[in-house]
Chains A and B, each alone.
Chain A
C-alpha cells in the first residue's frame, strides 16, 4: 500500500570477486532492463510531448506534418481562454467537482463506518448491494433518472442532477473508505467508548483523524471522477452551454476549431494539466487508493 512507492529496491545478491561472469551478467541485465524502461517511458510520455508541441504551433504549421514548432505561439493558450464559454466551463467543473466531492465525503463516511465497525443483521447484504451499485454502468438507470430530473423536477440544463445524488453516499467511496476503516484496530473504537464517547463522537474524534489518508484518497477520486465525467453533463447539461463542464465543452471546442489542431491541443493541455498537478501534490494518497480497492484489505 503506502509502502509501494517507498519500498527500497531489492538489490541482487552481492557478487563475489571471483565470479566475474556473474557480475558481467548482472551488468548486462541492468542495461537490458533499463533500455526497456526507457522504451516504455517514451511510449507513455511521447503522446504528452507531441500534444504539447502541437499546442504551440502556428495555425499554418498545425496543418503540416511537422513535429516541432518553428515559432512558439504561446498566444494559442490566450486564444483558448478567450473562447466564449471556456471560463464558464472551468467554473462549472469546479462547482461540480468541488461541491460533489464535499457532499460525497460527508455522506459516505458514516455509512462506511457502520459497514466496517457495527455488527448488524443485513450488513453483508448491504455490502453486496454497495458493490453492485459500484459496478453498475450509469447508462442502465439513465432513462428513469433523466425522466425524474427533467420531467418531474425540471432540472435539465443544470448540473444539479449530478450533484444532488452525491449527498446520498457514493458506492465507490463507501467501499474504499470501508476497506480503509477495516485497517483501524477495533481497540481504538472500544477505548473511546470506555471513555464515554458516543458513536458520533467516536467517529468524529477518533476514527476520522485516523482515516485521513483514506478520506484524502476518496476525495481525490471523486474530484477526478467529476472532472472527467462526460456522460453526466452530456445527458443533463447539453441543452444549455452555460452549464457545460470542461470535459463536455472540450469536444465542442474541437467542433468549432475544426482543423485547428493547435488550439484543440492547447485546450486539451488545459483540461489535463490540473489533474496532473493535483497528482503531484497527492501522489501517495492516490496510489494508496488504487491499491486499497484491489484485492487486499
Chain B
C-alpha cells in the first residue's frame, strides 16, 4: 500500500487518475450487491410503501385509497392484534427460555469430560433439522391421538395436554420445538465460555466464592455481550417466525394442502398467528395487496428497530474494519 502511494505522489498528475481507477475497481467488486440492493431491497421497499396507500387486487389497476388499508389493518382485520400478542408472548417466553436453555447447555458441554465430542454432536443435530420436517416430527410426537409423548405421559399418570390442538398449549409446544433446536446458541455460548480467563475463576475460588457466586460474578459479566447478542437476534428471529407455526397449525387442523387451497391461519383459535403469516393471508389468500403491505411495513419497522440494537458497539456485531 505504502509503495503504491509513494509512486503516485511522485507523479502527482497521475493521482486523480489513480483515484478514479480505484473508485472504478471498488464499483466493479461491489457491483453484484449494488444491483441486488437496488432491485431486491430499495425498489421493493419503496414499492411496498406505495402499495400500502393503494387499493390493489392484482387484476384491476391500483387506485389511491389513502389511509384506508391502515385503518383496516389496525381496526378491522381480525388477525392483526392476535398476531402481535402472539409475537409478544414468543418474545417474552420463547426467546428468554431459549437463551437460558442455550446458556445452560453451553455450560454443561464445557463441564462434560467424558465423551464430550459425542454429546456436542448430539446436542447440535436438532438445529440442523429442516423446519418443515422438524415441525412435522413434533406434530407427530405431540399429537394427542397416537403421539408417543402423550402415550408416555398417560402411562406415568400425568394429564396429557392437547399441544398443537389446544390454544393454550400450542405456543408452549412451539417453544418446546424451538428449545430442541438450540444448537446455534449452544455453540456461541460454548465459545464465549471457553474465552473467560481461567485466572478469574481461580482468584474467585481462592476468595472462597461458591459455584453460584463464580457464575454470577465471573462468568456472567464476561459473557454478557454474547447474552445480549443472543437476545437481540432471538427477537429478530421471532419477528420472522413463519414456517413452524404455519406448518404446526396446518397439520394439527388437518387441512390438506394443494394449489389454491384455503385455510384459516393460526389454528387453533388464532393462537399460532405471527405477523409474516398475515402478509401471506392478506396478499395471497385475500388478494388485498395494499393491506398486506401495511403489515409488511409494521414488520419492517419492528425488525429494523432491533437490528439497530445489533449495530451498537457493545453486544453488537463486530463491525470494526481494521
Contacts and interface: CB of A to CB of B under 8 A. Distances in A.
A231 B188 CA distance: 27
A148 B307 CA distance: 27
A137 B240 contact: yes
Interface string A236-278: 0011110000111011101110100100110010011001100
B231 to A, nearest CB: 12
A186 B322 contact: yes
A215 interface: no
A295 B23 contact: no
A165 B316 contact: no
Interface string A174-196: 11000100100010001001100
Contacts of A10: 110, 198
A272 B292 CA distance: 33
Given A144-B51, A193-B4, A247-B133, A230 B247 contact: yes
Interface stretch (B9-17, B32-40, B163-171): B32-40
Contact of A254 (B44, B251, B259, B315): B251
A261 B188 contact: no
B132 A67 contact: no
Nearest to A128: B311
Contacts of A87: none
Contacts of B152: 67
Interface string B143-172: 100101001100000000000000000000
Given A247-B133, A256-B256, A290-B188, A44 B225 contact: no
Given A139-B280, A144-B44, A169-B36, A7 B194 contact: yes
A256 B239 CA distance: 31
Nearest to B290: A143
A47 B138 contact: yes
A216 to B, nearest CB: 16
Contact of B130 (A234, A275, A290): A275
B32 A291 contact: no
A62 interface: yes
Interface string A276-295: 10010001000100110011
Contacts of A36: 108
B60 interface: no
B3 to A, nearest CB: 6
A227 interface: yes
Given A41-B122, A65-B146, A268 B133 contact: yes
Contacts of A234: 280
Contact of A140 (B190, B251, B296): B296
A287 B40 CA distance: 29
A1 B242 CA distance: 30
B260 to A, nearest CB: 8
B300 A291 contact: no
B123 A135 contact: no
Interface string B110-121: 111111110111
Nearest to B256: A255
A169 B319 CA distance: 19
Interface string B198-223: 10000000000000000000000000
Contacts of B117: 5
Contact of B320 (A67, A256, A287, A297): A297
A18 interface: no
A276 B240 CA distance: 24
B201 to A, nearest CB: 10
19 contacts: A10-B198, A131-B310, A131-B311, A133-B41, A137-B239, A140-B48, A168-B36, A168-B39, A169-B33, A230-B131, A254-B251, A261-B146, A271-B130, A276-B128, A291-B187, A291-B191, A295-B225, A295-B317, A296-B191
Given A140-B48, A182-B322, A295-B225, 14 more contacts: A4-B190, A4-B191, A40-B108, A47-B141, A64-B146, A118-B29, A123-B321, A147-B289, A168-B35, A169-B33, A193-B4, A247-B130, A248-B132, A255-B256
Nearest first, the 4 closest Cβ-Cβ pairs linking A and B are A168-B36, A255-B256, A297-B318, A141-B44
Interface of B: 1, 3-4, 22-23, 25-26, 28-30, 32-33, 35-37, 39-41, 43-45, 47-48, 51, 58, 105, 108-117, 119-126, 128-134, 136-138, 140-141, 143, 146, 148, 151-152, 180, 184, 187-188, 190-192, 194, 198, 225-226, 229, 236, 239-240, 242-243, 246-247, 250-251, 254-260, 275-276, 279-280, 283-284, 289, 292-293, 296-297, 299-300, 303-304, 306-307, 310-311, 315-322
